[in-house]
């Protein structure tokens, strides 16, 4: 199936590892050029080079912290130099671990900047590029925790919920410019962060990190397993394509049955 993505310029934040990298590879496999953004210069440039070589597309690695104004400016400038953005994947983010009573203002602000303001600033910078090209796609990678919170990460829950609402309101504002905006709420996706955490938590009890992750899946997902970044990336690629032309302003759950509500 031709997804209509050949020659499109896709900007992916948090793109050097895990979900972001899988989405970048999925889009590149369809012929899209890739602007890959992440904080680590060596890694993001190396992954961009691998994508270009493997898929025969253009790919640029941009070292940028999108939680900052300067980082967003660097990504916007790179997209402009590439010929303007057609697709934006707001993927940069990370989990948290705190209580509301003990978390300081600085931690709340840091997650707000990363999960919400990065999306706001990137929209202000890249939507005009999309308008100039006749349209585009913006996708926000939020989380099932936006609507079904986990008790130990209240800041993550709150900021991801705000990102979901931002996605909805941005969709209403730019639909007339032929720009489609949607949000994806993943459940358990087996990223390197999950594996790292599992290894740390089981280091003193035999090191059965795979067993620990299976327990997590058994508890939370009716499918009793984690999804892979590639499985999630397939959904992102579809939403970027012209096959999803009537998908506007929605939130989609890709969670293996984790969501417990309608």
Residues annotated as part of the active site: 156
Q: How far is CA 52 from the centre of its chain?
A: 20
Q: How far apart are CA 17 and CA 235, in angstroms?
A: 17
Q: Three-class SS of residue 32?
A: coil
- Read off φ and ψ for residue 186, nearest 5 degrees: -75, 155
Q: Where are the alpha helices (DSSP H) in the chain?
A: 18-29, 41-55, 69-81, 105-112, 118-132, 154-174, 192-202, 209-220, 229-240
C-beta of residue 35 within 8 angstroms of C-beta of residue 51: no
Closest C-alpha among 197, 35, 253 to residue 129: 35
Kindly give the pairing relationship between strand 33-38 and strand 59-63.
parallel
Burial label for 151, CB within 10 Å (0-12, 13-18, 19+), is exposed
Q: How far apart are CA 46 and CA 56, in angstroms?
A: 15
DSSP structural state of residue 189: B
Closest C-alpha among 52, 119, 116 to residue 88: 119
C-beta of residue 249 within 8 angstroms of C-beta of residue 243: no
């Amino acid at each position: 199936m031709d997804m209509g993505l050949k020659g499109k310029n896709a900007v992916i934040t948090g793109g050097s590892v895990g979900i972001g990298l899988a989405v970048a590879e999925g889009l590149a496999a369809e012929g899209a050029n890739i602007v890959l953004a992440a904080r680590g210069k060596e890694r993001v440039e190396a992954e961009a080079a691998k994508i270009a070589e493997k898929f025969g597309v253009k790919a640029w690695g941009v070292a940028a912290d999108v939680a900052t104004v300067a980082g967003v400016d660097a990504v916007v400038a790179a997209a402009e130099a590439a010929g303007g953005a057609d697709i934006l994947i707001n993927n940069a983010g990370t989990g948290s671990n705190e209580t509301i009573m003990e978390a300081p203002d600085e931690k709340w602000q840091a997650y707000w900047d990363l999960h919400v303001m990065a999306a706001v600033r990137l929209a202000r910078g890249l939507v005009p590029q999309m308008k100039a090209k006749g349209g585009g796609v913006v996708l926000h990678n939020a989380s099932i925790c936006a609507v079904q919170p986990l008790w130990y990460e209240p800041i993550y829950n709150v900021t991801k919920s705000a990102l979901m609402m931002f996605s909805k309101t941005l969709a209403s504002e730019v639909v007339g410019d032929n720009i489609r905006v949607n949000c994806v709420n993943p459940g358990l996706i087996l990223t390197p962060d999950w594996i790292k955490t599992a290894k740390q938590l089981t280091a003193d009890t035999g090191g059965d990190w795979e067993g620990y992750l299976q327990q997590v899946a058994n508890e939370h997902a009716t499918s009793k397993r984690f999804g892979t970044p590639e499985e999630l990336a397939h959904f992102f690629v579809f939403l970027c394509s012209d096959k999803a032309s009537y998908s506007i302003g929605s939130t989609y759950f890709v969670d293996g049955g984790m969501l417990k509500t309608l």
